[in-house]
Each structure stands twice: as C-alpha cells, then as structure tokens.
C-alpha cells in the first residue's frame, strides 16, 4: 500500500485533526459568543468524520477484509464508529464546562491566557483521534504515536478543567505515572524490534509465527524467543496504565476524583478503548488462538487481580467518583477475560460466544454508554457549589429528580450486569468466550466478582431510592448535559434490545486471521529456508 493509499483511508482522522486545530484557534477569539461555539464546531467535525467513516463502509474501494491483526478494515470501522458515537455523548456531557477564569477579562481588556475552552475541546478531539488511529496502525512507531496522542491531551484536560487544587494534583499524578508507563511499553516495543528486526506488523507477525513453528529458531518449542516475549510482557504492562488494570491502576481513584466529572467520564472510555485496541493488535501478531502459553497465563493473572482489586477497593469507598473509578478497574478485568480467551476457532463461521475479541469490542461500547450516564448524573447535581461526589449527595434523589434517579439506576444496574440490560449481555459474551476456550476458572472468578460488584452498585441505587433527600443538593442548570444523561439511559435500553446485531458487527470486526492454508505454506517455506544452514 502506497502512502497516498494509506492516507486515503484516514479521512475521518484527518477531519478530526483539522477540526481540533481550528477549534483551538477559534477558542482564542475575544468575543465570548465565538468562544462558546467551539463545542458545537467540535460536534460538527465529529459528525462529518462519522459520515465519512460510514461512507467508507459502502465504498467498493474499502472491502471489509479479514487481514492480519490491525489491518482489517472492519476492525477499523467498528472502532471508529464506536469511539465517535460514544464521543458525541461525551461531548454533550462536557459542552457546558466553564471555559474561562474571571470571564476572560482583565483590567486591560481581553486576556487570552485566562480562557481555556478552545484548548479543552481541541485536546478532546486530538485524544479521540489518537484512539481511532490505534485501530489503523500497521507499525510499532505508528502505534506508539497514536497511543501518546490519546494520552497526552488528557493530562492537560485533567489539570485545567476544575478550579480546586485537587485538579492540578490529579494532573501531576496522572502525568508522572503516564510517563513511566509510556517508557515501559516503549522499551517493550524496542525489544520486539530487537527480536524481529522490523517495526512493521506484517514482518513482526511472520517472525513471531516462525519462532512458534520452528524448533531451530527458538530453544523452546511452542514459545517465543526470550527477547520477543519480554518485549510483549513490558508492552502489556505499560498499556495496563491506559486501561487502568493491575499493576498500573493506582492512579485511577485520585485522578477520577480530582478531574471535572465530564473529564472523568472521558478518561473511563477513550484511553481504555485505545489500550484494549492496542492489546488486540499486538497480541494478534502472535496469532489467534493465542499461541504463547506464557502470555495466556499473564493475561489470566492480570484479569483476576484486576477484577478483585477493583471490586474490593470499590466496596471501601464513600465517594461515588472513587467507587466508579475502581469500578472502571474491575471492568478492565472483565474485558481481560475476553482478551485471554481470544478467538477459539478462526473461521468464517466463528460464533460470537467463541470470539473473546468481539466480546471485548462489544463491551467497550456498552461500558462507554452506561458509565457515561452515571457520571452525567453526578455532573448535574451540586452540593455547596461543587459537583456531587458522595453517597450523601445522592440521598433521596428520586424525590427531587426522578428522571435523574432513573438514569442512575438504569446505568448502575447495567454496570452490575443485571439482566436484561446491555451490561448483562456484555458479560454473557465475555464469559461465554472463556467457556469456549475451556477457561472455566476465569468464568468462576468473573461471576464471583460480579456478585461483589453488585453490592456497591445496589448501594448507589438504594441511596437514590430508599433514603431521605439531602436538602443541600440542588440541580445544576445544564440542559445539554441533561440530554446526554437521558440519552445514555435510553441507549442502554436500546442496545439491550439490539445486543445481537451489535455483537454480530463486533464479531465480524474482530476476525483477523489470514487464510490458514496460505499461512501454513508461508511458514513451511520460511522454516525450510532457516533450517538449510543446519542441514548443511
């Protein structure tokens, strides 16, 4: 594929980049009315990008192939549309964020250093663009840059969207741990390059499969070389930061609590999506079903540790944002079950219950919608002039704001996995893929953790419906955010009814295997070629 052909597949991302730069410039306008328009311009850019992504689906030049991991156009399209769809709801949630300090005015007139609205929405779009580019990556360098494009804007978004001192503190914690994680997975990428001599995915995939297939190439049959395996392990460890998984989960509670509520909702979806997309692409280079016993064991241990830590720590919290932060950690553990299971049978007729990767893509969309609704409700309540955060702030919510209480209940029950809402179907597909892969132990741990999680989710619902109202709490006048909250609850119900077609789309998107006969023939040729010096 030539450079122009590759660029021609990236018009949705190019449109978002252009919109981001335009929004940053418009956000510096002296007129407040012009600055206030940047959120709607951002929405327009996302809609146009989404329209182009949909048009690609019907273009004869973009076939929905099943190419090697990371190169499948169906995979790119699903990630694009999922990120843009949930991103539009996130944009509605954030549309009414304060954009300036001191109204942007000083004694000498307009002061551009006191406004931040343009920068916020510009960074918002850049981070979404990075998540979309992760799905289009076909090279380690591209993948690293896409991951950093996703993460770097969020450090600024956390630190600058709330005037309390906890926001800069959260931003600093997030930045330093993020820098450490980036160094870890970049070192992992360097080791992968050292083991394979390539940065392109096609060449790396060939080398990995050769290591697994030829005893003359590696000292351990059925395993990668030591350098390649260490590189993948370090890459996975670093990417655990993006998905808030053990052992890189420690920032989640402090950062989620310190950031403005719309930014917290953003952090819970966009970096997590970029991280899981990256893991799917990287592990796909080894081959599905996953061929490395060491990697399977590592992912399984990470899944169990992440679930138990997230759910146990959530039980101990009194701040709802911290509860949802540790809930986010636990949900990463559930999705790691699907990643560990992978694809049991790689063929054109693979069942949704045999495709853990499709289950992960499905669950990412479902989690983004139901989690956003819970945060949107918190962002619509004020206690003593600040956004609601504690369980006391939600007491008796149904008596004061029955619509918001209903939204919170629907989203919390969905996050808990109660039938028949979308969260339940997501866990059915995740656990079903583990059963198909004969990993019953993962399913047992997943069910136990779902029961633990039900305790704190039901506590949220119980406080809203069974307690006396707190008279200190009032509803903020944010009509656009109200629309986002209600839309999230409606989507949770609608997606529950459309779970089967959505999972079919995810299942189609997550099949990456090339033709097995062609692949085996290629490997036989490579093994013969490598073995010739030994035979001589």
How many folded domains does the chain comprise? 1
The stretches of 382-421 forming alpha helices (DSSP H) are 397-400, 402-416
pLDDT < 70 regions, the chain: 1-2, 60-71, 98-109, 113, 214-222, 344-350, 384-385, 512-536
Helices (H) and strands (E) in the chain, counts: 22, 5
| pTM of the complete model | 0.90
Phi, psi (degrees; rounded to nearest 5) at 355: -125, 90
Instruction: Give the pLDDT confidence score for residue 345 in this predicted structure.
Output: 62
User: With contact defined as beta carbons under 8 Å apart, do 437 and 289 qualify?
Assistant: yes
Q: Is 244 a domain residue?
A: yes
Instruction: Give the pLDDT confidence score for residue 61 in this predicted structure.
Output: 63
Instruction: Give the pLDDT confidence score for residue 323 in this predicted structure.
Output: 94
Q: Is 536 a domain residue?
A: no
What's the rounded Cα separation, in Å, for the pair 477 and 307?
A: 37
Instruction: Give the pLDDT confidence score for residue 13 in this predicted structure.
Output: 93
Q: Is 288 a domain residue?
A: yes
- Going from the C-alpha of 186 to that of each of 135, 141, 252, 302, 390, the distances in angstroms are 18, 9, 22, 20, 38
Q: Is 133 a domain residue?
A: yes
Instruction: Give the pLDDT confidence score for residue 65 in this predicted structure.
Output: 45
Q: Is 432 a domain residue?
A: yes
Each residue's pLDDT tens digit, 366-422: 999 999 999 999 988 887 667 788 888 888 888 888 999 999 999 999 999 998 999
Instruction: Give the pLDDT confidence score for residue 519 in this predicted structure.
Output: 43
Assign 227 to helix, strand or coil. Answer: helix
Q: Which domain holds residue 424?
A: 3-531
Q: Is 174 a domain residue?
A: yes
Phi, psi (degrees; rounded to nearest 5) at 199: -110, -15
* DSSP assignments along 9-44, one per residue: T-HHHHHHHHHHHHHHHHTT-SSHHHHTTHHHHHHH
Q: Is 303 a domain residue?
A: yes
Rg of the chain over Cα atoms, rounded to whole angstroms, equals 23
What's the rounded Cα separation, in Å, for the pair 173 and 517?
A: 50
* DSSP assignments along 458-501, one per residue: HHHHHHHHHS---TTEEE---HHHHHHHHHHHHHHHHHHHTHHH
Instruction: Give the pLDDT confidence score for residue 346 in this predicted structure.
Output: 56
Q: Is 416 a domain residue?
A: yes
């Amino acid at each position: 594929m030539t450079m122009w052909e590759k660029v021609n597949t990236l018009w949705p991302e190019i449109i978002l980049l252009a919109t981001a730069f335009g929004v940053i410039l418009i956000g510096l306008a002296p007129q407040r009315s012009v600055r206030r328009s940047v959120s709607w311009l951002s929405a327009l850019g996302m809609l146009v990008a989404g329209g182009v992504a949909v048009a690609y689906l019907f273009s004869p030049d973009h076939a929905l192939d099943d190419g090697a991991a990371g190169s499948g156009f169906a995979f790119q399209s699903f990630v694009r549309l999922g990120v843009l769809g949930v991103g539009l709801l996130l944009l509605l949630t954030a549309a009414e964020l304060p954009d300036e300090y001191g109204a942007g005015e000083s004694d000498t007139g307009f002061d551009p250093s006191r406004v931040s609205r343009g920068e916020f929405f510009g960074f918002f779009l850049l981070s979404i663009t990075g998540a979309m580019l992760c799905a289009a990556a076909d090279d380690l360098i591209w993948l690293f840059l896409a991951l950093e494009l996703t993460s770097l804007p969020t450090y600024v978004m956390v630190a600058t969207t709330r005037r309390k001192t906890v926001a800069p503190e959260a931003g600093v914690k997030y930045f330093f741990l993020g820098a450490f994680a980036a160094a870890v997975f970049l070192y992992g990428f360097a080791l992968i390059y050292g083991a394979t001599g390539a940065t392109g995915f096609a060449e790396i995939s060939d080398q990995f499969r050769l290591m697994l297939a030829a005893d003359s190439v590696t000292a351990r049959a059925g395993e990668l070389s030591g350098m390649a395996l260490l590189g993948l392990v370090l890459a996975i460890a670093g990417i655990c930061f993006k998905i808030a998984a053990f052992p890189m989960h420690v920032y989640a509670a402090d950062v989620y609590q310190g950031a403005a509520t719309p930014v917290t909702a953003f952090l819970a979806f966009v970096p997590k999506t970029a991280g899981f997309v990256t893991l799917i692409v990287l592990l796909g280079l080894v081959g599905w079903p996953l061929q490395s016993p060491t990697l399977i064991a590592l992912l399984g241990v990470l899944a169990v540790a992440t679930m138990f830590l997230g759910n146990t720590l959530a039980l101990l919290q009194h701040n709802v944002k911290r509860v949802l932060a540790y809930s986010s950690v636990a949900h990463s553990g559930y999705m790691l079950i699907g990643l560990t299971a992978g694809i049991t049978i790689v063929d054109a007729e693979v069942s949704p219950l045999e495709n853990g990767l499709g289950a992960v893509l499905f669950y990412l969309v479902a989690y983004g919608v139901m989690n956003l609704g819970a945060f949107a409700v918190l962002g619509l309540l004020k206690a003593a002039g600040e956004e609601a955060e504690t369980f006391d702030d939600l007491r008796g919510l149904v008596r004061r704001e029955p619509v918001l209480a209903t939204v919170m209940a629907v989203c919390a029950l969905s996050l808990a996995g109660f039938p028949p809402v979308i969260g339940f179907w997501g866990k059915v597909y995740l656990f079903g893929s583990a059963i198909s892969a004969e990993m019953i132990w993962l399913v047992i741990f997943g069910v136990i953790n779902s029961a633990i999680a039900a305790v704190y989710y039901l506590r949220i619902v119980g406080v809203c419906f069974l307690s006396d109202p707190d008279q200190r709490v009032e509803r903020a006048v944010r009509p656009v955010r109200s629309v986002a909250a209600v839309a999230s609850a409606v989507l949770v119900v609608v997606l529950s009814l459309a779970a089967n077609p959505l999972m079919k789309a995810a299942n189609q998107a997550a099949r990456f295997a090339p033709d097995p006969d062609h692949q085996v023939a290629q490997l036989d040729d490579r093994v013969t070629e490598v073995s010739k010096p030994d035979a001589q």
